[in-house]
Amino acid sequence: MHVCCGVCSVWPLVYLKQYFRITIYYGNSIIYPESEYERRLETLEEYLGILNDPEITLVIPSYDSESYMKDLSLYDDHQEGGKRCYHCYEKRMTEAYDYAEENRYDYFTTVMSISNRKRADYLNEIGERLDKEHAHTRYLYADFKKDGGITKNEEMNKELHLYHQYYCGCVYSRREE
């Protein structure tokens, strides 16, 4: 499962661990600056410590902001939620999905649909296309906001006092906030 940050993972992890053994792929080289990337990772690790579930594994690929920013710079004049974001979702999901396929995981999903800043229809459209491109790993459709998921996630985050970022992640979203 692709996880973008600790606060977005709270409810989706509680929900999905009832049904699956979970491997988290924290592939987020888009997050700017690197200190913010590290802070979000620390928050995720803090939450995993609270969960204390030995069945959840965390994979952390290297941080490579330069290649992400080079790709996103083509869309630097686009508004938040548009083509730039779609490309960002696609890039992060492809990286994580490829990892899942290479390691023969049965399913792949992303927690990004829990965020009010992310469009679940975009995410699921990307996931559906990636599903067709991968022979083994299937895409698990999700909109974690639905059925009160967003409320549960917000309540759990307040209770846990986890760090909550004020922008999506890239340099462009940081400037727009």
Q: Is residue 143 part of a domain?
A: yes
Please tell me the total count of domains within the chain.
1
Residue 141 in domain: yes
H or E element in which residue 139 lies: strand 138-139
Is the residue at 156 inside a domain?
Answer: yes
Please state the pTM of the whole predicted model: 0.92
CA angle 73–78–81, rounded 5-degree value: 110
Query: Is residue 1 one of the residues assigned to a domain?
Result: no
pLDDT of 60 reads 98
The verdict on residue 115 lying in a domain is yes
Q: Is residue 95 part of a domain?
A: yes
Q: Which pLDDT value is given to residue 153?
A: 95
Q: Looking at residue 97, what is its pLDDT?
A: 98
Q: Cα angle vertex 31, ends 104, 92, to 5°?
A: 30
DSSP letters along 43-78, please? Answer: HHHHHHHHHT-TT-EEE-PPP-HHHHHHHHGGGTTS
Q: What is the mean pLDDT of each run of 10 residues along the chain (177 residues)?
A: 94 96 94 92 97 96 83 66 81 96 98 90 96 98 95 95 80 61
Separation between Cα atoms, residue 60 and residue 24, nearest integer Å: 8
* Predicted pLDDT at 171: 64
**Residue-range definition of the domain harbouring residue 65:** 6-176
